[in-house]
Structure 1
Amino acid sequence: MAATRVVVCCEDFIARTGATTSLQSFPDVEVREEPVLGTAAARAATDVVVVVADRLSVDVATALRELRRLLDRPVVLVAREVERIDVVMAVDCNVVAVLPTAEFTADRLHAAVLTAARGGAVLPFALAGDLVRHVRWVHTELLEPNGLRASGLKPREVEVIGLMADGHDTAEIAAKLSFSERSVKKLIHDVTSRLNLRNRPHAVAYALRHGVI
C-alpha cells in the first residue's frame, strides 16, 4: 500500500520540526516538502495537510481557505486553543481533524492523518457536539422552512429524479405528475444548475448518493 503523503505547514520552526519528526517515524507516512501550490503536480503529490497553530484565528483561517483553493486537501489542525474553534469556520477551511496540543502524541497525529486520508474526521467531543447542533439548526431553520432537504433537493425534485431513475422520459414524467413537459424540463434544469450537476444521469447519481431515492 502506498504511503500517505503529508505536507506540514507551520510558521514556528520548532513546532513544524516536531510534527514532521513524529510522522517520519511511521513507514506508512511520507512527509514531503511544501509544494508549489496551485499546480496539478502539487495536488497529485499531497494527500493530507497538517497545520500547527495556536488557534484557528482569522489569519489562520484565511491562509487555510487559500490552501483549500490552491491544493484542496483535507487538513489536520494541531491547535492549543481548541475550545475556541468555530466549527463552521473549521469545516469551511477543509479541517477534518482537530488535535489539541495538550493531547498531542506521535500516535494520535499519525491516526488523525490516516483517518483524514480515508475521508474520515476526528473531532474533540465539544466540537463534534457543536457540529451536530449546527447541522440541526440548518435543517430546522433553513431547509425545512423552504421545503428543502439536506441533499438540497425539494420533494417534487426528488419525485422527478426518482422517475428519471426508473427510466421514464420527459413526456412520461409529465403525464405521471400532471405537469407540462416544459415544466419538467425547467425543474430538471433548475436542479442541475443549482447543484452544478452535468446532466440527468449525474442528477440521478447525486440523489442516490444522498439516499433520497
Structure 2
Amino acid sequence: MTVYADDGIMKAAVLTALEHDANIELVPAVATSRARVSLIVAHQIDDPVLRLLRRLRRSRTQVGLVLDIVGAVTLPYLLAHGVLALVRRTEANQEQLTHMVAAIARSEPISDFQPPPCVPPATPSHKPMPPYPSQCLAPLNPREIRLLQLAADGLNTEEIAQKMAYSSRTVKNVLKGVTGRFHLHNRTHAVAWALRQGFI
C-alpha cells in the first residue's frame, strides 16, 4: 500500500502505525502501480486531493481517506473515484487504520465491519443521508450500485446478467444481499431506497 499526505509529520505517524503489520507491504508513492491500496491523509477534500483521486483512479488502486474536515462531497462521487473508506484523522489510531486497509484490500465496503451499520434500515420516512459520517463509506459497493442502476432502468434479471456478463444467479444473489443487509422488502424497494440515498 501507499500513503499520501500533505503533512509530513502525519504521514510519518501513519507509516509508523502500519509498518508493524506483517500483512501490509508499504511501497513508495512512485510505485503506485504496485499498490492495491492507497491511503490519502489530508486536512479536507480540496483541489489537490481531487486531482490525486483522479490520478489514482487511473492506476486502479483502491483508496481510503483520512481527513480532518469531512465536507459535502457525495458518496457516489467518492465511489466513482475508487474511495472505499473514510475516517476522521482524530480517530485514525493503529487498530482503525490497519482494519480499514485490510477491508479496502478485500474491496469490502467499510460498513460491513463497522458497528452499528452506517445506514439504518430503510423506513418510509427515511431521508437521504447527510454528507458521509466518519468511518462510514460505501455501504453499497460499485457492483451493487451498477446492478441497482440497471434495475432502476427497468431491466429484468436476465437483461442485467447479459449486460454485466454475469449469470442470472449472481444478479439475484447480489440484489438479495442488498435487500437483506438493509432490511428491504424486494428489488423495487431496494431501487427506491438507493434513489433516496443518492447512490443511483
CA shift, 1:46, in A, is: 1.7
Which residue of structure 2 aligns with residue 121 of structure 1? Answer: 109
Counterpart pick for 1:30 among 17, 25, 32: 25
In the superposition, relative to structure 1, how do residues 129 and 61 fare at CA in structure 2: closer, same or farther (>3 Å)? Answer: farther
1:11 aligned residue = 6
- The Cα of 1:108 is off from its aligned counterpart by 0.7
In 2, the alpha carbon distance for the partners of 1:122 and 1:191 equals 26
Letter matched to residue 23 of structure 1: L
**Which consecutive unaligned segments of at least 5 residues does structure 2 have?**
121-126, 130-146, 177-186, 188-200
- 1:119 Cα deviation after fit: 1.6
**Two-structure CA RMSD over aligned residues (Å):** 3.4
Alignment pair present for 1:95 and 2:87: no
Summarize deviations over 1:88-145 as a string: whole Å, max 9, x none: 33222211111101112111101110111122233699xx459x826xxxxxxxxxxx
Aligned to 1:48: 37
Q: Which runs of 5+ in 1 are unaligned?
A: 1-5, 135-148, 162-187
Q: Given the two structures, how large is their TM-score scaled by the length of structure 1?
A: 0.57
1:158 alignment partner AA: N
CA contact (8 A) 1:48 1:76 kept: yes
C-alpha distance in structure 1 between counterparts of 2:110 and 2:166, whole Å = 30
CA contact (8 A) 1:75 1:94 kept: yes
Identity across aligned pairs (percent)?
18
Alignment-derived partner of residue 80 in structure 1: 68
Cα distance in 2 for residues equivalent to 1:11 and 1:30: 21
Give the structure with the larger helix fraction: 1
Letter matched to residue 106 of structure 2: R
Q: C-alpha separation between the residues in 1 aligned to 2:10 and 2:47?
A: 20
Question: Taking CA–CA contacts closer than 8 Å with sequence separation of 6 or more, which of the two structures ends up with the larger relative contact order?
Answer: 2
User: Normalised by the size of structure 2, how large is the TM-score?
Assistant: 0.60
Largest Rg, 1 or 2: 1
Give the superposition deviation at 1:59: 3.0
- Counterpart selection for 1:150 from 148, 151, 160: 148
